[in-house]
Chain A
């Protein structure tokens, strides 16, 4: 612990150093922060692909199959593949069972694949707070494709879309009626939709519901700044000029829907092709840079919020906090009054 990370060894492909560096970053140790600073210039080259969907939809099996296919591409197109698989931490003990590797045994023995399991460590939203930093380390280590598998997600665990260039939403058959399909949230973030377990009798119904929803959608592209305005930002989002402003010639991406049976490896090739097409699409339209710009600003924003809270906690008089909280518990003051008192505003 706490020795500094050998950056050169990591860049040169030392997998032991990579594994240890990720631990330091995940624990937010001084060595981890130092490594992130040094590695930042080497990052920004990987295609980040998110895979999300409800628990048991078959995300891990699909990720296993995708990684296998990407690794069997012709050598001039083949890149190293990293997988970051997030599972939930217990809200009571902080412990976790990380079981995604169980479905990924086909990938062992390939030194061009690196799989890392992460616990969510109290973060909601489907990722852990450190996922983006861990991805940055893998990016710098030369993994050209990084697949990020989220916690089994419900309706609003949409953080993955902020991190990834390409987001796959995996549905299992029988997920609900067509109203589920038009709700805001997880389906909205899909660049690619996959109905897994397609050998199930309900699969075609699910395909129909999803397709009907896509037909309702207006093709559009949201600019970076627009997206950030729906978040609580500590600073005014900085727009980067659109690389393409000519609306007439603007291309739109309509999310394709695929059927797969990942345990049998069926229907995987079209998904791989769609992932590659999406990457080309983003690059052609300047969207790649837009997404990166939005991600970096959001990351800075998150760091600012954490830093503000830490700084405030260091500066505040603990006895005042205790007194205010006590008054709140006794319902003598409201939460907003407590806030005012703690922030040093005049009592109302």
Chain B
């Protein structure tokens, strides 16, 4: 019996830079995970709906627009509406340090800024999903 980690990588909001999202998607793929890539300009509802249909273990968001404090609570609401509160969320992009505590408070499991190693993200995702230890 095979247990594959399934990850959704999504870009909510309006910024069109998806290099970071693709880099992470590729790193997770190379770590043996199945990565569903949804593309640009996803609304929180679209992301939650995709997470439900794909039954992913974890959702990674890439936000470079600065709109994270608006987008993340809306995503959390959409996830709860679909009974997906057990699906982990992590966030990457340009996130000011002072916003991080509030984001973690909202239920985001990890926040990654520029310069994070892909190894770090891969091992955090694996540990979160397989429940080996906390990030």
The verdict on A101 contacting chain B, using a C-beta distance below 8 Å, is: yes
The 8 Å CB contact of A16, one of B34, B46, B83, is: B83
The 8 Å CB contact of B29, one of A27, A96, A115, A116, is: A96
Using CB atoms and an 8 Å cutoff, list the residues of chain A in contact with chain B. Answer: 1, 15-16, 19-20, 22-23, 27-29, 89-90, 93-99, 101-102, 105, 108-109, 114-117, 119, 121
The verdict on B53 contacting chain A, using a C-beta distance below 8 Å, is: yes
A98 touches B35 (CB 8 A): yes
Flag B39-83 by CB within 8 Å of A: 1 or 0 each.
100100110011011110000000000000000000000000011
Smallest CB gap from B49: residue in A: A108
The 8 Å CB contact of A19, one of B3, B28, B55, is: B55
B54 touches A27 (CB 8 A): no
Smallest CB gap from A85: residue in B: B36
The 8 Å CB contact of A95, one of B31, B37, B54, B84, is: B31
Q: Can you list 5 A-B contacts (CB < 8 A)?
A: A22-B55, A96-B35, A102-B37, A105-B38, A121-B2
Using CB atoms and an 8 Å cutoff, list the residues of chain B in contact with chain A. Answer: 1-4, 6, 25-26, 28-39, 42, 45-46, 49-50, 52-55, 82-84
A328 to B55, CA, bound (A): 44
A22 to B6, CA, bound (A): 13
A interface majority secondary structure: mixed
B82 touches A16 (CB 8 A): yes
When distances are taken between beta carbons in the complex, the residues of chain A under 8 Å from B30 are 90, 93, 95
When distances are taken between beta carbons in the complex, the residues of chain B under 8 Å from A1 are 3
A96 to B55, CA, bound (A): 15
When distances are taken between beta carbons in the complex, the residues of chain B under 8 Å from A94 are 4, 32
When distances are taken between beta carbons in the complex, the residues of chain B under 8 Å from A96 are 29, 34-35
A93 touches B31 (CB 8 A): yes
Given contacts A105-B46, A119-B34, A121-B2, contact A114 B53 (CB under 8 A): yes
Q: Taking the nearest CB of chain A, how far is it from the CB of B66, in angstroms? A: 23
The 8 Å CB contact of A90, one of B29, B38, B45, B49, is: B29
A93 to B29, CA, bound (A): 8
A97 to B37, CA, bound (A): 7
B45 touches A109 (CB 8 A): yes
A102 to B36, CA, bound (A): 9
